[in-house]
Amino acid sequence: MTERLYLVDCYIQDFAAIIKEILPTGIILDRSAFYPESGGQLGDQGKLKTENLEIIVKNTRQQRGKLIHEVETIEGLEVGIEIKGELNWVRRYQMMRAHTAQHCISRFFQINYSAETVSNKLKTSINRIDLSPLSKLSLEELNEIAAQINKLISSNMPVSISFLPRKEAINFLRDKEYQTQYLGMVPKSVKEFRIISINNYDWAACAGTHVQNTSEIGYITFEKTVNKGKLRERIYYSVS
Ligand SMILES: [Zn+2]
């Protein structure tokens, strides 16, 4: 099982690790800062380096609990050797900003429109959130909402990571109006939940990567909305 360094510290850009397993499709390490594609967030890209080799990591994904670094080639690699991992930090940091923005946007719509986030997808440029129940919003209304969220995120709200035992986490999040019904679907083998708190504004169970302070998000712009069925709106946003 790979020790997932990003769970405790999202700012690790490079790290040393040992190759534990080589699959036809990728490399498994004893520890890694690479985030695997999940929860609407793209998998990390970057490089694995040895003294003589530099191998491109095209994507990171998880399969049956394994964290797989999909590499361009496995040639020259051996189980047991030490490598240095390096993230494509520009891409990852953009993802962290967009992901933290998603928490803020989701919470804003929950408080002000009683709309829950039913899915989300982060990209390197335009991101999207599906909200329900929500009726079509005018462009004027969307711009006003963006202004209010931008005011919130520019107020330097700290973002923190904590870990709570499963039952305690569910009770805590229920008190905070988080959609705890989905947490029951998490395999029972998961004994502890990772909680992302944004000051006294938002709390969520999330394994993704986030910035430490909302001021790092920058500026949110809503690009467009698309109706995705009865009272379900898809909102596209970017951070700059
Ligand atoms: Zn998150």
For residue 81, the domain's CATH number is: 2.40.30.130
Å from CA of 224 to ligand 1 middle: 22
Position 178 pLDDT exceeds 90? no
Contact between 225 and 206 under an 8 Å Cβ cutoff? The reply is no
Half-sphere exposure of 176 (CA within 13 A, CB side): 20
**Nearest-CA neighbor of 134 among 236, 237, 225?**
225
Token pair, residue 82, equals: 């030490």
Å from CA of 96 to ligand 1 middle: 9
Band of pLDDT at residue 39, cut at 50, 70 and 90: confident
Å from CA of 138 to ligand 1 middle: 28
Domain housing 21 = 3-87
Å from CA of 186 to ligand 1 middle: 16
Band of pLDDT at residue 160, cut at 50, 70 and 90: very high
Mean pLDDT of 63-88: 95
**Nearest-CA neighbor of 30 among 16, 19, 45?**
19
Mean pLDDT of 83-101: 97
- Domain endpoint, select from 59, 87, 115: 87
Q: Are residues 73 and 108 in the same domain?
A: no
- Domain endpoint, select from 87, 102, 132: 87
Position 129 pLDDT exceeds 90? yes
Largest Cα–Cα distance in the chain? 58
Å from CA of 197 to ligand 1 middle: 10
pLDDT of residue 55: 96
Could you tell me the CATH number of the domain that includes residue 168? Answer: 3.30.980.10
pLDDT of residue 128: 96
Q: Report the C-alpha gap between 66 and 36 in whole angstroms.
A: 10
Ion ligand 1 nearby residues (CB, 5 A): 206, 208
Q: List the alpha helices (DSSP H) in the chain.
A: 89-113, 139-153, 166-175
Position 50 pLDDT exceeds 90? yes
Lowest mean pLDDT segment, chosen from 51-60, 117-126, 173-182, 202-211? 173-182
Å from CA of 74 to ligand 1 middle: 32
Dihedral (CA of 92, 94, 99, 104) sign = positive
Residue 117 Cα to chain centre, angstroms: 15
Position 83 pLDDT exceeds 90? yes
Å from CA of 211 to ligand 1 middle: 10
Å from CA of 30 to ligand 1 middle: 24
Q: Report the C-alpha gap between 208 and 212 in whole angstroms.
A: 13
Q: Are residues 169 and 203 in the same domain?
A: yes
Å from CA of 100 to ligand 1 middle: 6
- Domain endpoint, select from 87, 113, 141: 87
182-212 per-position pLDDT tens digit: 788 888 888 999 999 999 999 999 999 999 9
pLDDT of residue 125: 86
Mean pLDDT of 66-75: 96
Say how many domains are in the chain. Answer: 2
pTM equals: 0.95
Residues of the chain above pLDDT 90, percent: 87
Band of pLDDT at residue 159, cut at 50, 70 and 90: very high
pLDDT of residue 190: 87
Å from CA of 98 to ligand 1 middle: 10
Q: Are residues 115 and 219 in the same domain?
A: yes
Q: Are residues 72 and 171 in the same domain?
A: no
Mean pLDDT for all residues in the chain: 95
Å from CA of 51 to ligand 1 middle: 35
Q: Are residues 96 and 208 in the same domain?
A: yes
pLDDT of residue 123: 86
Q: Are residues 125 and 108 in the same domain?
A: yes
Position 29 pLDDT exceeds 90? yes
24 preceded by a cis bond (ω within 30 of 0): no
Half-sphere exposure of 196 (CA within 13 A, CB side): 26
Q: Report the C-alpha gap between 87 and 47 in whole angstroms.
A: 6
Sequence letter at residue 140: E
Q: Are residues 69 and 31 in the same domain?
A: yes
Q: Are residues 112 and 214 in the same domain?
A: yes
pLDDT of residue 226: 93
Paired with 49 in beta bridges are 54, 84
Position 56 pLDDT exceeds 90? yes
